[in-house]
Amino acid sequence: MRRIRQTRWGLAVAVWAIALGMFFPILWMFLCSFKTEIAAVAVPPKLFFRPTLENYYAVLQRADYLAFARNSVLVSLGSTLLALALAIPAAYSMAFFPTRRTRDILLWMLSTKMLPAVGVLVPIYLLWRDLGLLDTVFGLILIDSISVLPIVVWMLFSFFREVPAVILEASRMDGATQTEELLHVLLPLCTPGIAATALLSIILCWNEAFWSLNLTTVKAATLTNFTASFSSPEGLFWAKLSAASTLSIAPILIFGWMSQRQMVRGLSFGAVK
């Protein structure tokens, strides 16, 4: 009995050490946001210091945080919804009506994601400009949904494959049409998986920096622009950047933590139904 408790405690210590180690850089950044600029780069690094709110004040004064946050929320949600709307029918068809093309389509979808964004920047920029989509939330939603679509399709496809065919057969026997089958049988069954995929997509869109930097200026700029505006090759900014980053990360971190159980439940592959 005692040995088990000892290993239990030994385990707890080990895992806590790992967890704190993983979280430490974020914690350190959070602490730095309350230091003065000099204190932030002091050697040896200060663990104890007099905290100040001047960085947050400076950051919030310099830029309209709420406007950026609003855009981040709109873009993340919008892209996710759009991606889901496109991916669910596609994944459904590929999972239950596989043809020889299925594998090719999936792979091809994935491969398009592998084009580094930098390589396609100018074509997209020109296209967006000609379509009047520059600096619009909708334009950003479009490009972000394209970016996450392959992953969303892939994950939904994997989840749908988990569903035993008998269930769908049963509904078909009962005379359900295809849309009904999709909406009333499949989706409810797979809601955890869909929710998890959605959450993943939201996180990815929230942190997407390249397109929001290049395709927006003022009206559609997101929190990634906000953070980037505090990072400079000419200006000491470390404490302020920490403050700006904390403000950008906080919403998604809290959101992720709250919905973490949903994600864990939904991301079960090979779950026993």
Partner 1 sequence: MNRIWKALALLASAALVAWILYPAGRRPELTIATVNNADMILMQQLSSEFEKQSGVKLNWVVLGENVLRQRLTIDISTGSSTFDVITIGSYEAPLWGERGWLVPLDDLGADYGYDDIFDVVRQGFSYQDRMYAAPFYAESAFTYYRTDLFGKAGLKMPVQPSYEQIRQFAQKLHDPEHNVYGICLRGEPGWGQNIAFISTLVHAFGGRWMDAGLKPQITTPAWAEAVGFYVDVLSKYGPPGATTDGYNENRALFANGNCAMWVDATSAAGYLLDPSQSRVANTTGFAKAPIAKASNGPGWAWSWGLAIPTSSKRAEIAKQFIKWATSRQYIATVGERFGWLRIPPGSRKSTYEIPAYLQAAPFAPLVREAILNAGYTKSGESVPFVEVQYVGIPEFQAIGAEVGQEISAALAGHATVQQALALGQAEAEHSLEGRFVK
Partner 2 sequence: MTGEVAAKPSRQLHSKSLLAPSVGALLLWMVVPLAMTLWFSAEHYNLLSPGKTAFAGWENYRDLLTHRALWVAMGNTLFLVGLVLAITLILGTLFSLLLNQDFPGRNICRLLVIAPFFVMPTVSALIWKNMLMNPVFGLFAWITRSLGFGTIEFFSSMPMLSIVVIVGWEWTPFAVLILLPALHSLNPEQMEAARLDGAGPIALFRHIELPHLLRPMAVVAMIEMIFFLSLFAEIYVATGGGPGLASTNLAYLIFRDALLGFDVGRASAGGVVAIILANIVSFFLMRVMGRNLEDLR
User: Which residues are at the interface with partner 1 (CB under 8 A)?
Assistant: 36-38, 41-43, 62-63, 70, 73-74, 77-78, 81, 121-122, 125-126, 129, 134-135, 137, 187-188, 191, 195, 213-214, 217-218, 221, 225, 228-238
Rounded to a whole number of angstroms, the CA Rg of the chain reads 23
**In whole angstroms, what is the distance from residue 114 CA to residue 116 CA?**
6
Quick check: helix, strand or coil at residue 36? coil
Q: Which of 146, 116, 122 is nearest to 215 (CA)?
A: 122
81 is an interface residue for partner 2 by CB under 8 A = no
Neighbouring CB atoms inside 10 A of 17's CB total: 10
- Interface segment toward partner 2; rule CB under 8 A; list 49-57, 61-69, 132-140, 225-233: 225-233
183 is an interface residue for partner 2 by CB under 8 A = no
With respect to partner 1, which residue has the nearer C-beta, 109 or 247?
A: 247
Q: Which does 236 bind (CB under 5 to 8 A by kind): partner 2, partner 1, none?
A: partner 1
Among 1, 48, 50, 257, binds partner 2 (CB under 8 A): 257
- DSSP assigned state of 46: P
**Residue 44: cis peptide before it, omega within 30 degrees of 0:** yes
270 is an interface residue for partner 2 by CB under 8 A = yes
Among 114, 130, 175, 235, binds partner 2 (CB under 8 A): 114
Q: Which of 214, 195, 198 is nearest to 206 (CA)?
A: 198
The two three-digit tokens of residue 255, written as one number: 């959101």
Q: Which does 159 bind (CB under 5 to 8 A by kind): partner 2, partner 1, none?
A: none
**Are the CB atoms for 240 and 37 separated by under 8 Å?**
yes
Least distance between partner 1 and beta carbon 170 (Å): 19
122 is an interface residue for partner 2 by CB under 8 A = yes
- Interface segment toward partner 2; rule CB under 8 A; list 48-56, 57-65, 133-141, 242-250: 242-250
189 is an interface residue for partner 2 by CB under 8 A = no
**Are the CB atoms for 225 and 213 separated by under 8 Å?**
yes
Which pairs count as long-range contacts for 103-109, CB under 8 Å and 24+ apart, including other chains?
Answer: 106/153, 106/154, 106/157, 109/149, 109/150, 109/153, 109/154
29 is an interface residue for partner 2 by CB under 8 A = yes
Q: Which does 168 bind (CB under 5 to 8 A by kind): partner 2, partner 1, none?
A: partner 2
With respect to partner 1, which residue has the nearer C-beta, 20 or 38?
A: 38
